[in-house]
Amino acid sequence: MATDIDKFVHDQLSVWPAVAAKYRALKSTRTRTLPYGGILVTLQSNPGRLPIFDHGCPLCEENYMEHQHTLPFEGRKGRKYNILVNRAPIFPNHLVITRDVHVPQTIWHRFPDMLDLAASLDGYLVFYNSPKSGTTVPGHAHFQACPKGYMPLERAAERLLREVSAGRSTEELEFVASVRDAELYHYKKFHRGIFMLRALTPKSMAKMFYRLLDCLNLLAEDTEPRFNALTYCSEGEYRAVVTLRSASKPGCYYAKGEKHFSISPGAAEMAGFVVVPEPEDFDRLNANVLEQIYNDVTLSEEDEKRLLWRLVRTQPRIEVGIVRDKEIRFEIISDGAGPQRVSYREGKIDYGGMLYDELVFEAVTISTLFAEPSFIIYRDGGEERFAGTLKFIVDGGKVCAVNIIGAEDYLMSVVSTSGARDLKSAAIGTRRWLMAQVGHRHAHKAVIGGPGLDNTPSLVTWLEHRPQEEKPEDIPAHLRFDVCATEHCRPYYGITDKADTKARMAIDETWGQTE
């Protein structure tokens, strides 16, 4: 497709004089380099960067300028894009890839489209600005693209990711996490909040990318985290650089007099290619000013440490008995099969006419994050949504649904509905109680039942098998799971709509603490 792009740009500029003049001006624009943070930053004096906006949204087809042409690109699930020549270029062959309909700028569900673009545009780098991180048109979803090699951080990423791909370590990159066929690294130079990713497939890359964003704090006024992203393909891999933000513009943008610099960082600036629109700012921009700009718009040291902790922390999985009946209606959200049912028959679980001793619908959730719903249990009073794995067992002549879920995800429901005023204390206290129940049950299981006890087809009570010297309070309440979902243990409603930001923060800040 790169050959088509070159021809498209040439043909477009041959009939569009106003924009062609801007591209010609790039060839003679002033540039200089400035060592900063372990890389060589490029400064570009570019007064022509001021965009040409006539009226309305410039990315909507009805507002295209005279002579402006498009090249189609189709994304996932029927999403259609128009490839345009950028009206206000920074780079040669600078492109804008815009949705064919007016929808807000967001990366949710569109990152695979960005990866497909990178795979199609051989020799190009595709980049993205989140709504409050450098984009001039937040109301219309779009990406940008330019030929590879212009951005210093991109060149550093290519060098370093090539090293780790070949199995060689480097002090500049710190391995953080991985999912199947994808790895995430923290870059320790330049400025805070830089992460590099490599993956063999777009699916694994997207999973790792969204995991990174999920671990960020989302400001109340934002629709998505503040960040900039670069993606490209190299050596059979998908590669990406993500720079995480705390603010849209630095303090010098609003300053007066000599302290004013009209620099509004987007993906290029965050990757070490700094565009200076005002000619008088170009010569006086120095390393001290750059340091202040990056400090103003990047994550704080505290927030970066918190993010790294979220990416590597873990939570144990627990088993919660959520409902017990002759028949249970349920739905696995991801399979699209709709409501299903299981029932008790002949001492086993009847599912679709087949009999089972145990039935498991596995949901692999990342233990460092709060999980999303994976199944629904239907009751007379409505439906309840749960994260994690759904397991059915036989329990005393009935079918019992057991939710295998991360302990912190379980706490989200329990603490949110507890009515406690001090949510942090409630989280720590409930976690301490929960771990005691888990430890108590497994200690007795090892002594009495042995490793195969969980596979028995029917319930055997602890009262029938406990050593005679045990006191009633030493006996675990449940045999086949750790805790139940009723008042007997703690009320548990799965992914409850009562889980607010305060409860999430309380659990997040006390993660794993029992004291």
Positions of E strands within 396-479? 398-406
- Write out the H or E segment, with its range, that includes residue 307: helix 301-312
pLDDT at 216: 87
317 in the same domain as 307: no
Work out the pLDDT band at 95, boundaries 50, 70, 90. Answer: very high
Reported as type and span, the H/E element at residue 442 is helix 423-444
Of 246, 277, 311, which residue sits at a domain end? Answer: 311
How many Å apart are CA 8 and CA 1, to the nearest integer? 10
Q: How far is CA 129 from the centre of its chain?
A: 15
Residue 105 pLDDT exceeds 50: yes
Residue 339 clears pLDDT 90, i.e. is over it: yes
d(CA 321, CA 312): 29
What range does the domain containing 502 cover?
Answer: 313-509
Question: Cβ(192)–Cβ(265) under 8 Å?
Answer: no
What's the average model confidence in pLDDT over 207-212? 94
Q: Residue 408: its pLDDT value, please?
A: 95
Same domain, 392 and 266: no
| Better pLDDT: 141 or 467 | 141
For the beta sheet containing 317-325, the strands, ordered from the edge strand earlier in sequence to the opposite edge, are 358-361, 389-395, 398-406, 317-325, 483-484
CA–CA dist 272, 190 (Å, integer): 9
**Is residue 162 located within the same domain as residue 226?**
yes
Are the C-beta atoms of 13 and 69 separated by less than 8 Å? no
Q: Is the pLDDT of residue 475 over 90?
A: no
Report the pLDDT value the prediction gives residue 44, as an integer from 0 to 100: 96
Q: Identify whether residues 290 and 339 lie together within a single domain.
A: no
Report yes or no on 398 lying in a domain: yes
- Identify whether residues 451 and 505 lie together within a single domain: yes
Ranking 5-14, 171-180, 211-220, 229-238 by mean pLDDT, the lowest is 211-220
Residue recorded with tokens 């943070």: 37
Same domain, 340 and 362: yes
Domain identity same for 377 and 390: yes
Q: Are 194 and 184 in contact (CB under 8 A)?
A: no
> Contact at 8 Å (CB) between 320 and 384?
no
- Checking if the pLDDT of 45 tops 80, the result is yes
First to last CA, the chain: 59
pLDDT confidence of residue 220: 59
Tell whether the torsion through CA atoms of 422, 306, 41 and 142 is positive or negative.
Answer: negative
Q: Is residue 378 in a domain?
A: yes
- The per-residue pLDDT of the chain, averaged, comes to 89
End residue of a domain, out of 269, 285, 311: 311
* 141-155, 330-344, 469-483: least confident range: 469-483
Helix (H) or strand (E) holding 247: none
Task: Give the DSSP H/E element, type plus range, for residue 157.
Answer: helix 152-165
Please say if the pLDDT value at position 498 is more than 90: no
- CA 431 to centroid of chain Cα atoms: 26
Task: Read off the amino acid at residue 117.
Answer: L
Q: 3-state DSSP call for residue 142? A: strand
Residue 514 located in a structural domain: no
Q: Is the pLDDT of residue 98 over 60?
A: yes
Rounded mean pLDDT, 404-421: 93
Identify the domain boundary among 252, 278, 311: 311
Of 383, 365, 371, the closest CA to residue 323 belongs to: 383
- Are 74 and 119 contacting, i.e. CB atoms less than 8 angstroms apart? no
Sign of CA dihedral 289, 294, 296, 301: negative
Domain contains 225: yes
Q: Tell me the percentage of the chain whose pLDDT exceeds 70.
A: 90
More confident residue, 217 or 351: 351
On whether both 157 and 293 belong to a single domain, the answer is yes
Residue 116 has pLDDT above 60, yes or no: yes
Confidence class for position 89, pLDDT limits 50, 70, 90: very high
pLDDT attached to residue 477: 64
Listing DSSP states for 28-57 in one string gives T--EEEEEETTEEEEEEE-GGGS----SS-
Cβ proximity of 164 and 183 under 8 Å:
yes
In the three-class reduction of DSSP (H, G, I as helix; E, B as strand; rest coil), residue 368 is classed as coil
In contact, 182 and 207? CB cutoff 8 Å: yes
Quote the pLDDT of residue 456.
34
CA angle, corner 431, sides to 459 and 488, nearest 5?
Answer: 40
pLDDT-derived band at 127 (thresholds 50, 70, 90) equals very high
The crossing angle, in degrees rounded to 10, of helices 202-214 and 111-120 is 140
Q: What is the per-residue pLDDT for 462?
A: 33
3-state SS class at 401? strand
CA distances from 345 to 148, 348, 361, 395, 397 (A): 64, 5, 20, 12, 9
Of the listed ranges 118-122, 192-196, 500-504, the one predicted with least confidence: 500-504
Strand boundaries in 306-381, DSSP class E: 317-325, 327-332, 340-345, 348-351, 354-356, 358-361, 375-379
Q: What is the pLDDT of residues 344-377, one digit of tens each?
A: 999 999 999 999 999 999 987 677 888 889 999 9
Instruction: Clarify whether residues 285 and 426 are in a common domain.
Output: no
158-176: b (≥16 Cβ within 10 Å) or e: bebbbebeeeeeeebbeeb
Q: What value does the mean pLDDT take over residues 318-345?
A: 95
pLDDT at 451: 41
Q: What is the average per-residue pLDDT within 301-319? A: 94
In a domain, 203, yes or no: yes
Q: What pTM does this model have?
A: 0.85
**Residue 270 in tokens:** 């965050």
Residues 274-309: tens digit of each pLDDT: 999 999 999 999 999 999 999 999 999 999 999 999
Q: Which of 71-85, 150-164, 217-231, 428-442 has the lowest mean pLDDT?
A: 217-231
Per-residue confidence band for 121, with pLDDT thresholds at 50, 70 and 90: very high
Which pair of tokens denotes residue 189?
A: 């130079």
Residues 430 and 324 in one domain: yes
Look-up of token digits 């042995």: 450
Mean pLDDT across 238-256:
96
Residue 206 lies in a domain: yes
Q: Does residue 445 belong to any structural domain of this protein? A: yes
Q: Which residues contact 195 (CB under 8 A, 6 or more apart)?
A: 176, 184, 185, 186, 187, 212, 241, 242, 243, 244
**What is the Cα 379 distance to its own chain's centre?**
32
Residue 515 lies in a domain: no
Closest CA to 99 of 120, 125, 128: 128
Is residue 146 within 8 A of residue 101, CB to CB? The reply is no
Give pLDDT, residue 65.
Answer: 86
For residues 421 and 505, membership in a common domain is answered with yes
pLDDT of 453 strictly over 50: no
Q: Which residue has the higher pLDDT, 507 or 456?
A: 507
Number of domains in the chain: 2
CATH of the domain at 181: 3.30.428.70
pLDDT at 465: 37
pLDDT-derived band at 320, boundaries 50, 70, 90: very high
Do 237 and 379 share a domain, yes or no?
Answer: no
Residue 484, pLDDT > 70, answer: yes
Cα(367)–Cα(55) distance, integer angstroms: 48
